[in-house]
Amino acid sequence: MDTATGTFTRTLGRSGIEVSAVGFGCWAIGGEWQDPDGNPLGWGKVDDDESVRAVRRALDLGVTFFDTADAYGTGHSERILGRALGRRRDDVVIATKWGNVFDEATRTLTGSDDSPEHARRALTASLGRLGTDHVDLYQLHISEADPERAARLRDTCEEFVREGLVRAYAWSTDDPDRARVFAAGPHCAAVQHRLNVLQDAPELLALCEESGLASINRSPLAMGLLGGGYGAGRAPAAGDIRSAPPAWLPGFAAGGGAEPDWLARVDSLRSVLTSGGRTPAQGALAWLWARSPRTVPIPGFRTVAQAEENAGALAHGPLTPAELAQVEVILGRA
């Protein structure tokens, strides 16, 4: 808690950059896009005006950290975020990612490029779409990149820092050994990785603690499962990645909605996550804050209502140690 402002904040590792304890992930507001085989990579159709209103509402509620990527909506997410922030750009911390290659005309992911030359091209393009002269946190978006080639990209990021184009950098990966490659860089500030109450990541949290990094948590709501909106046969709409889930997205069956065993675990946690008047989503964010003082969850959003619910978690703060322990007992991890 920032005692000067009364707001719940966290620091992005060694960078000293302060952010709201919850950030907003901008994958969903990128709208529909696809892989080369036509499978959806977005979260379905979006209303861009509503997305802009949601970003601005989040700002009004104290959210100062927004995480996007050049690939989300093949550039569309960055453009919408830049439009929404406008003159308030200096009030926020922007994180974006690079490494994927895409065709904006067809909104299709076409491959990846781990060369330093592409990193510079991608950064220049992201700055233009975001309408800014620097990125606060620049993140490698190729989770399984070759570690030796990634070391070159780490050095390229150090060049970006020296040039004033980037304040700090990170790798979005679930592999602790790969994360260590970037952690060796002086201006590495974080690791972005999957973490939620159903999918713990103790090795990555230990690395963040050892290396003085922030743990930026993607999928903090388990792709919506912890938000309380699934059950009773509800299935994601066509055009939503969860309707045709890739191998790396557990918890959903192709075309059939959420897996029953995942829903059962969510239901078993409901009473503890909703303690103190929290919604299930707010309880899931509270678990992350209790799990480690380095966590910064970045739940997705598409509407003003979702922005208000996610930002509302800040007022509740972390679960208590007793509640955290109760979760571990319920899930059989104690």
Convert the pLDDT of each residue in 76-117 to its tens digit: 999 999 999 999 999 999 999 999 999 999 999 999 999 999
Asked whether residue 4 is domain-assigned, the answer is: no
Mean pLDDT of the chain: 95
231 pLDDT band, cuts 50/70/90, is: low
pLDDT at 2 over 50: no
CATH number at residue 102: 3.20.20.100
pLDDT at 278 over 70: yes
Average pLDDT (284-312) is 98
**Among 143, 149, 133, 70, CA closest to 107:** 70
In angstroms, the Cα distances linking 137 to 140, 164, 168, 169 are 10, 12, 5, 5
pLDDT at 3 over 90: no
Average pLDDT (283-306) is 98
| Strand duo 65-67 + 93-98: pairing | parallel
Number of domains within the chain: 1
More confident site: 254 or 21:
21
Half-sphere exposure of 109 (CA within 13 A, CB side): 23
232 pLDDT band, cuts 50/70/90, is: low
Asked whether residue 165 is domain-assigned, the answer is: yes
Question: Would you state the pLDDT for residue 218?
Answer: 98
Tell me the C-alpha distance between 173 and 191, whole Å. 7
Question: Would you state the pLDDT for residue 255?
Answer: 73
Asked whether residue 62 is domain-assigned, the answer is: yes
Question: Would you state the pLDDT for residue 6?
Answer: 45
Torsion angles phi and psi, residue 17, rounded to 5: -75, 125
Tell me the C-alpha distance between 277 and 232, whole Å. 24
Asked whether residue 1 is domain-assigned, the answer is: no
pLDDT at 151 over 50: yes
- Identify each DSSP E strand in the chain by its residue range: 9-11, 18-20, 24-25, 65-67, 93-98, 100-103, 108-112, 135-140, 166-172, 188-194, 214-218, 252-253, 257-258, 295-297
CB-based contact 16:23 (threshold 8 Å): no
Question: Would you state the pLDDT for residue 233?
Answer: 63
253 pLDDT band, cuts 50/70/90, is: confident
Asked whether residue 3 is domain-assigned, the answer is: no
Question: Would you state the pLDDT for residue 4?
Answer: 36
- For residue 133, give the 3-state DSSP assignment: coil
Tell me the C-alpha distance between 175 and 147, whole Å. 11
Average pLDDT (4-20) is 86
pLDDT in tens, 172-215: 999 999 999 999 999 999 999 999 999 999 999 999 999 999 99
Query: Whole domain around residue 48: which residue ranges?
Result: 9-330
